[in-house]
Amino acid sequence: MRRKADVNDQAQASVAPDMVHRNLIGGRQVPASNGETLDVLSPVDGKVFARIAAGTAQDVDAAVKAARSAFEGEWSRLTATERGRLLVKLALAVEAQADALAALESRDNGKPLRQARADAIALARYLEFYGSAADKLHGDVIPYLNTHFIGVERVPHGVTGHIVPWNYPMQIFGRSVGAALAAGNATVVKPAEDASLTILRVAALAREVGLPDGALNVVTGLGRVAGAALAAHPGIDFLSFTGSPETGTAVQTAAAQNHVGVTLELGGKSAQVVFDDADLERALPVLVNAIIQNGGQTCSAGSRLLIQRGIFDKVVSAVAERFAVLRAGRPEADPDLGPMINQAQQRRVQSYLERGKGEGLSLAASGGIAADAPEGGFYVAPAFFAPVPHESLLSQEEVFGPVLVATPFGDEAEAIRLANGTAYGLVAGVWTRDAMRSTRVGRAMRAGQVFVNCYGAGGGIELPFGGFGRSGHGREKGFEGLVEFTTTRTLVIAHG
Ligand code: TXE
């Protein structure tokens, strides 16, 4: 099977020299220590268009050392205001380059151009938010003995490691690396092998705006090599990971050997609960978009509809009507959705569709693949199954593709039981005109974020984000995400 990125053991004459991307370590752009590269395939047509360094454990070690020396040197000598200003400058540079970043992301990742542009703008907002917050983060003074002064300082962890997935590279870089830098940490980033290019570009911009060498290092490469080396490195003081539950377990296990903390964001199986008094005109486009955005490759995708029995058929046929006209196609044409990230993900989604049909689930509607979608791309037609039993595989497992299921419920208690009835707990949606019920049900959701009469609104830069259970632990985004990248030092001063 051809992966999107494979160790380059054969010459790829089609790759222009300017599309061979190197690591950024200590302010220098360097190849992998053993000179190896990975081919980067565009999911749009399955063709190689660039190469990245196949980073090694030695490269990770060099990056951690560069970060340590920045942390003990120039980076820590800056005031919080100076640090914040650099991040705001980077935000402006990203904003100015939003179109170029979007075009690169679209090609590398396959997402529609408008989504890629939204990601670039969100990255700029994260950098602006955290840059502006850098000098507003402060500790406490604790009343204790009258003879002592107690100050609790918020201090950075030191060197932080960031393992980033491929679905929203710019946004996840922004929420995690932006917060870590604002808090004063020096960082080492391992982007996903399938979508590293925009992160490398942003790291180059960071140098241009004057971020000190070593404060931000990027090592590309395979997860099981460069990612595993970063997770296990004894020089790392804190780790941030977003990805699959299985890899999250491996990362946390590795971090435990060094007794360091980890935030894990591991996806979800988020439900949207639609009561019979919901404003359907408002709800319907949101219900569909919540699963179609980014081709369903979104941790917070609304992948389950729970619909009150009295309106079940009506809502299913309205959603089905919308699904039937959805098209997957070339990202530059701004279709409803682009291709899946790689062939493995395409096959994973197809296998869930097969298993759903094997379970005897009924397909309420299926979208299509645009006629001009290039051969060799990793396209999947959206699918909507209804009714689907709550225990079914498609109701319980994260597909990470454009696959939606609908399940009927009777009363409020059943809705809550079903919504909370998976191993995940990332996001939930509640649709009702009853104000008391919206608050009651909203507060009963076992999810890190709950949206009422909206879903995933506003990008959520300011809102704490993270999960319960298999969705992981720790919080990113918002001010809480900034605090996560700090620890405390309590100073006890006896004065008489
Ligand atoms: O994830 P991995 P994959 C889910 C989604 C998807 C599935 C598989 O369901 O279908 O995971 O995707 C790095 N040590 N999500 O295989 O392996 C890897 O290089 C350290 C949900 O891409 O978790 C990449 O940078 N790092 C999700 C990152 O981990 C390792 C987003 C994620 O890859 C490693 C993505 C190792 N041993 C997938 N192995 C979300 N929560 O949004 C890999 N990596």
Q: What is the pLDDT of residues 315-325, one digit of tens each?
A: 999 999 999 99
**Which domains can be identified in the chain, with CATH numbers?**
10-266+475-489 (3.40.605.10), 271-456 (3.40.309.10)
Phi-psi region of 46 (alpha: psi -120 to 50; beta: other; left: phi over 0): left
265 catalytic residue (yes or no): yes
Residues 167-194 have pLDDT tens digits of 999 999 999 999 999 999 999 999 999 9
Q: Is 115 in the pocket of ligand 1 (CB under 6 A)?
A: no
Vertex 103 angle, CA 97 and 105, to 5°: 95
Q: Is 398 in the pocket of ligand 1 (CB under 6 A)?
A: yes
Q: Which of 244, 297, 351 to mutate to test the pocket of ligand 1 (most atoms within 8 A of CB)?
A: 244
Report the distance separating Cα 496 and Cα 492, nearest Å.
Answer: 12
Whether the per-residue pLDDT at 331 is higher than 50: the answer is yes
What's the CA-to-centroid distance between 244 and ligand 1, angstroms? 5
Please state, in angstroms and as integers, the Cα–Cα distance from residue 263 to each residue in 137, 163, 196, 474, following that order. Answer: 20, 10, 21, 5
Write the residue with the smallest CA distance to atom 17 of ligand 1. Answer: 247
* Residue 394 CB-half CA count within 13 A: 32
Report the distance separating Cα 419 and Cα 429, nearest Å.
Answer: 9
Q: What is the mean pLDDT of residues 340-353?
A: 98
DSSP code string of 11-56? --TTS-GGGEE-EEETTEEE--TT--EEEEE-TTTS-EEEEEE---
Whether the per-residue pLDDT at 9 is higher than 50: the answer is no
Q: Is 296 in the pocket of ligand 1 (CB under 6 A)?
A: no
Write the residue with the smallest CA distance to atom 10 of ligand 1. Answer: 400
Give percent above pLDDT 90 in the chain: 95
Write the residue with the smallest CA distance to atom 8 of ligand 1. Answer: 244
End-to-end CA distance of the chain: 73
How confident is the prediction for the chain on average, in pLDDT?
96
Q: What is the mean pLDDT of residues 267-289?
A: 98
Q: For 355-479, where are the E strands, in sequence order? A: 363-366, 368-369, 383-385, 403-409, 427-431, 449-452, 472-473
Q: What is the mean pLDDT of residues 82-105?
A: 98
Whether the per-residue pLDDT at 14 is higher than 80: the answer is no
Residues 395-433 have pLDDT tens digits of 999 999 999 999 999 999 999 999 999 999 999 999 999
At 8, the pLDDT band (50, 70, 90 cuts) reads: very low
Contacts (Cβ under 8 Å, ≥6 apart) of 45? 374, 375, 376, 377
Q: What is the mean pLDDT of residues 442-459?
A: 91
Report the distance separating Cα 485 and Cα 81, nearest Å.
Answer: 17
Candidates 105, 128, 193, 265; catalytic one: 265
Q: What is the mean pLDDT of residues 55-61?
A: 98
Phi then psi for residue 261, to 5 deg, are -80, 160
Tokens matching residue 56: 């090694």
Write the residue with the smallest CA distance to atom 35 of ligand 1. Answer: 243
Residues 105-142 have pLDDT tens digits of 999 999 999 999 999 999 999 999 999 999 999 999 99
Residues 351-381 have pLDDT tens digits of 999 999 999 999 999 999 999 999 999 999 9
At 4, the pLDDT band (50, 70, 90 cuts) reads: low
Residues 455-478 have pLDDT tens digits of 986 568 999 999 999 999 999 999
